[in-house]
Amino acid sequence: METLADVGEFGLIRRIRTLLEERGGRDAGLIVGAGDDAAAMTPRSGYDLLVTCDAMVEGRHFLRDIMSPVQIGRRAMTMNISDIGAMGGFPRWALVSMGLELGAAAEDVLDLYRGFLEELNPLGAVIAGGNITRSGDGAFIDITLIGEVERGRMVRRSGAREGDAILVSGWPGQAAAGLDLLAHARGDGEAPEAFPLLQAYRTPAHRVREGRAIAGTGLANAMIDISDGLLGDLGHICEESRAGAEVQEDALPVSESLRWAARGSGEDPSSLVTRDSDDYELIVTCAPMHVDALRAAVARVSEVPVTRIGWITDAAGRLDLVRADGTRSTFERRGWDHFSDPRARG
């Protein structure tokens, strides 16, 4: 096994550039890519640029013993693609910086890049450059992703209005359930029901096409991706919109795999949906009269379900759970906090 100590920094960079030339995409707007002091690109007329960055630290956001390098690379890029999609945009150029241990396998680093490309290539986005350095204890991946959104179509967190319907895509909570199975190495991780949960954690799906379709309608008032958990990210919408929310417990989407996980853990299925989990689904608010139009827009680009789970209120900062019998409880707004929760996740 060749390590980075064997191939050296510049040998690794040559291998990465060869991989990008052979397997990476092409972008007419990229004037200068990897190999110069800086990348240069030309945005399209009629579009605004979106720029996001996200870092993954080994032991904090990913564990090499439960994920392959390709899966880690895919997950790292998906996190960033999801942020672009949550504002109605589409990714174009990625800048990748990494800190690597001297004893890391050179092929594992190339597999990380193969993972990046597996997410970028289908979208026509490219890696435009980056940086590599030596790390001391564990690896890190830091990606800056530049995208674009049609001018006037950007959707932000801050536009939710009293009376808006709250919609959520897909099946929130599955990634956290998958991580639980992996972290505890339980025998039930081999069950067929476990596969969607493990996949949701190891190779989560972004909703960039769905976000772009929603933004294209001009009917969404607010949108965010779920990286801090359903309640945590709905709380971000409420905070930025100076609004509150009521969520109907019996309306929460619960997949069959999540029901299976709830039976095994003895937890309530709704608590698995609402806890901190990085699923990269979308939360959207819109006027109730536009719910069907947004669902139709998503249906034109994917088969991902869109569920109405509640409504926006004027009680700024307050999130209430309304049960089927009419009783309610107020959520303590929560979500992922990098400086308080010791568990590893993405």
β strands within 139-264, DSSP E: 140-150, 165-169, 220-225, 244-248
Q: Which of 276, 295, 277 is nearest to 286 (CA)?
A: 295
pLDDT digits (tens, 9 = 90+) for 13-28: 889 889 988 888 778 7
For the whole model, what pTM was predicted?
A: 0.91
Instruction: Name all domains of the chain by residue range, CATH numbers in brackets.
Output: 4-150 (3.30.1330.10), 157-330 (3.90.650.10)
Task: Give me 195's structure tokens.
Answer: 């596969």
pLDDT digits (tens, 9 = 90+) for 267-280: 888 889 988 888 99
Task: Report whether pLDDT(188) > 70.
Answer: no
pLDDT digits (tens, 9 = 90+) for 242-263: 999 999 999 999 999 999 988 8
- Alpha carbon separation from 100 to 29, 125, 138 (Å, rounded): 30, 25, 7
Determine contact, residues 10/104, Cβ cutoff 8 Å: no
